[in-house]
Amino acid sequence: MKTLWLRREDKASEARVALTPDGVGALVRSGVQVIAERSTDRIFSDADYRAAGAGLTNAHWRRAPADAVILGLKELAESAAPITHTHIYFSHSFKGQRGAGAVLKAYSDGGGNLFDLEFLQDDQGRRIAAFGYWAGFVGAALGVLGYAHYRKSHAPYPAAQRCASQQDLVDMVRMALAGQPLRVMIMGALGRCGMGATDLLRQIGDQIEISAWDLPEFSAVDKPVRAIIGHDLFINCVYLRQPISPMIDPALLAENTRLTIISDVSCDPDNPNNPIAVYDACTSLDVPFRRAAGSGAWPVHVQAIDHLPTLLPREASREFAAALLPHLLEFLKGPDLPPVWRNARSQFVEAKQHFGLAG
């Protein structure tokens, strides 16, 4: 019998899951044993998982059976200890990010395998499961909330709060903006992330003017993009697949007299090709905004939280886990890797080779 081990999240304040209790039920019915590490942080309770057929444990995943597949969502805690298991999660280590070499070395040293959720793609290169829509939705909401806050106050923005539902978040944003006109640019408006941002803004009210840009508009102008500073709020939703010219930089911000908030939903500051070249580290749920480099007399603040959908964990988890589940079932049922998983495996091998690692 195959064993799937659902681990606790190491990342602080992460409430999302890659497997819901409904998914546990489907796996158990198919003959998979599911073990869940107890957690008080998940949006679904331990009791929900137990009722669905999962066994509960206080043990850490390193004590799991050698053939167990370890499922999580965000990065593991930093450690140089070799990794022997097969893991599935977002590792953020395949595109040259800071610390990637150490992560991959742990797998190389232990002979473990990593299937990064970001690289589970079909033959057309489309991700089979993603949080993009909800990242855009929440990123747009935080952008508007930041704008409403900083136009009235110089005090730091308070810690971001998880919402019980999508409607609660919409109501919070609508109340904060209080009918104030707002001009917003969305870069990458046609992707899943951009559609989420657009939907949030349209639900707030018709006082919001949206400039929806995608590749044709971006390609047609000089870089950095001067039109950005003609807006109150700039939302970047471009998934960074390859190097692109900077969208904005300190020199452009030095000329700014309007832009107040940059919400970088794509959030890739560790990437050497980060196109939002006015910050170099993620922000957090506790400190959601930081002042942009080059921001002069007119302050500009950047939101760059790398797990935005955790602020709407129930909706985000259900959609993501439902999309992942059929592929997870296929992965666990037989000895041969299905195409989606072969693609992810090849990305793992290439990433290790980039650092001169074996395996």
194 close to 214: Cβ distance less than 8 angstroms: yes
pLDDT surpasses 80 at 96: no
Q: Can you tell me the distance from the alpha carbon of 205 to that of 179, in angstroms, rounded to the nearest whole number? A: 8
pLDDT at position 270 is 82
Reduce the DSSP state of residue 167 to 3 states and report it: helix
Give the DSSP letter of residue 204.
Answer: H
Among the listed ranges 2-11, 154-163, 241-250, 307-316, which one has the minimum average pLDDT value?
241-250
Q: Which helix (H) or strand (E) holds 115?
A: strand 113-116
Rounded to the nearest 5 degrees, what angle is found at the Cα of 265, between the Cα atoms of 207 and 6?
A: 125
Q: What is the pLDDT of residues 285-306, one digit of tens each?
A: 999 999 999 998 899 999 999 9
Please classify residue 282 by burial: count the beta carbons closer than 10 Å to its beta carbon, then call 0-12 exposed, 13-18 middle and 19+ buried.
middle
Domain boundaries, the chain: 3-119+313-354, 132-311
pLDDT surpasses 90 at 344: yes
Q: Can you tell me the distance from the alpha carbon of 256 to that of 289, in angstroms, rounded to the nearest whole number? A: 18
Q: Which residues pair with 183 in a beta bridge?
A: 209
Other residues' Cβ atoms within 10 Å of the Cβ of residue 123: 8
Enumerate the active-site residues.
Answer: 74, 92
Strand order of the β-sheet with 301-303 is 208-213, 182-187, 233-236, 261-264, 301-303, 289-291
pLDDT at position 29 is 97
Which tokens sit at 22?
């409904």
348-357 mean pLDDT: 93
Please check whether the domain covering 3-119+313-354 is classified as CATH 3.30.499.10: no
Strand order of the β-sheet with 69-71 is 55-57, 33-37, 3-6, 69-71, 86-89, 113-116
pLDDT surpasses 80 at 144: yes
Q: Which residues pair with 121 in a beta bridge?
A: 127
Same fold, 3-119+313-354 and 132-311: yes
265 close to 236: Cβ distance less than 8 angstroms: yes
Which residues have a Cβ under 8 Å from the Cβ of 15 and sit 6 or more positions away?
A: 41, 42, 43, 162, 310, 313
What architecture is domain 132-311? 3-Layer(aba) Sandwich (3.40)
pLDDT band at residue 359 using 50, 70 and 90 as cut-offs? low
